[in-house]
Amino acid sequence: MRVAMYYRNSDVRVEQFPVPAIGDDELLLKVMSSGICGSDVMEWYRVKSAPKVLGHEVAGIVEQVGRNVSRFAAGQRVFVTHHVPCNTCRYCLAGKHTACETLHSTNFFPGGFAEYVRVPAINVDRGTFILPQEMSFDEGVFIEPLGCTLRGQRAAGIMPGESVLVMGSGLAGLLHIALAKSLGARVIASDINDYRLQAAKRYGADAVIDARGDVPALLRSHNEGRLADHVVLCTGALPAVEQSFRSVERGGTILIFAVPKPEDHVELPLNAFWRNQVRVVCSYAAAPRDLAEAIGLLRSGRISVREMITHRLPLEKAQEGFLLTAEPKESLKVVLAPHG
């Protein structure tokens, strides 16, 4: 079979790879759609494990089932998540599933940018979901990122009527905008890319801010003189991180959804946070509950993602897809179609 082998963002090669053999408790998935995530092009993070087949946002068709698998059958349309929790450790029992060591170590093989992937038994058990008939494979790749978005906003505690500043209007930012609007929040979005600011408007932002300006002042002008009840960081750019500290209202929350490089550091205004009772929360990945909720939101149409896909490419154009994602100008979501 063909795979897109990652060496670095500017070096993604289509190579031959054996079709994985499956065990009695496993599935073989025929990958129909595989989304390129912003984390796939974080070169500082990915290059240390290269060469590697990346890709974790997948939807496809069950090609083979192990003889002990009874919940699924060949020919079914499914979404499969790469990370799954154990459900028994102290973190899982406390509802902190994405801190689970099992979740951090599980994956399917060899990766979503391939014609076929082997789904391990634990992923079959708690990470494989039937794709509703009314949902396309391309829409299915949004289940994982929307699940992450849901978990993040739950951690932040966003409520109807509150104001939310989404900093960074790429794909993650657009999902946060759409979800916060569906919850009844007032949403302001920022970015330095005019194309993305226009996209933010299309997906529900009540106002947009050019992040090259005075963000707190511009935010006040769009929010009845107030800062934001919640700030969602969807970019690791240091200027945005520092702007977030000055953009949150007293008693508000900063949700760190994207991170700077490990060597980048910022100074936290702890005295101001203490005095103003500002919470800083982080959110990583998604748990099965989040994914099930994401499927429901997409299926119902409360969150519409079809128009977020700006590029759908065959596997042999994976290199183009990685560059479109790593150096975004007029692109939002890039989806690879291993089988056309």
Q: Which residues, other chains included, contact 5 with Cβ-Cβ below 8 Å and sequence gap of 6+?
A: 12, 13, 14, 15, 17, 51, 52, 53
Domains of the chain: 2-142+305-337 (3.90.180.10), 148-282 (3.40.50.720)
pLDDT of residue 329: 86
pLDDT, residue 340, reads 82
**Given this model, what pLDDT does residue 12 score?**
98
- What confidence score (pLDDT) does residue 49 get? 94
Phi–psi pair at 215, nearest 5 degrees: -60, -50
Query: What pLDDT score does 328 carry?
Result: 83
With a threshold of 0.95, does the pTM exceed it?
yes
Instruction: List per-residue pLDDT tens for the chain, 340 residues long.
Output: 999 999 999 999 999 999 999 999 999 999 999 999 999 999 999 999 999 999 999 999 999 999 999 999 999 999 999 999 999 999 999 999 999 999 999 999 999 999 999 999 999 999 999 999 999 999 999 999 999 999 999 999 999 999 999 999 999 999 999 999 999 999 999 999 999 999 999 999 999 999 999 999 999 999 999 999 999 999 999 999 999 999 999 999 999 999 888 999 999 999 999 999 999 999 999 999 999 999 999 999 999 999 999 999 999 999 999 999 998 889 999 999 999 8
Residue 265 buriedness (CB in 10 A; 0-12 / 13-18 / 19+)? exposed
Residues 65 and 63: their CA atoms lie apart, in Å, by 7
The stretches of the chain forming alpha helices (DSSP H) are: 43-46, 90-93, 101-105, 121-126, 137-140, 143-156, 171-182, 194-202, 215-222, 238-245, 270-276, 288-300, 318-326
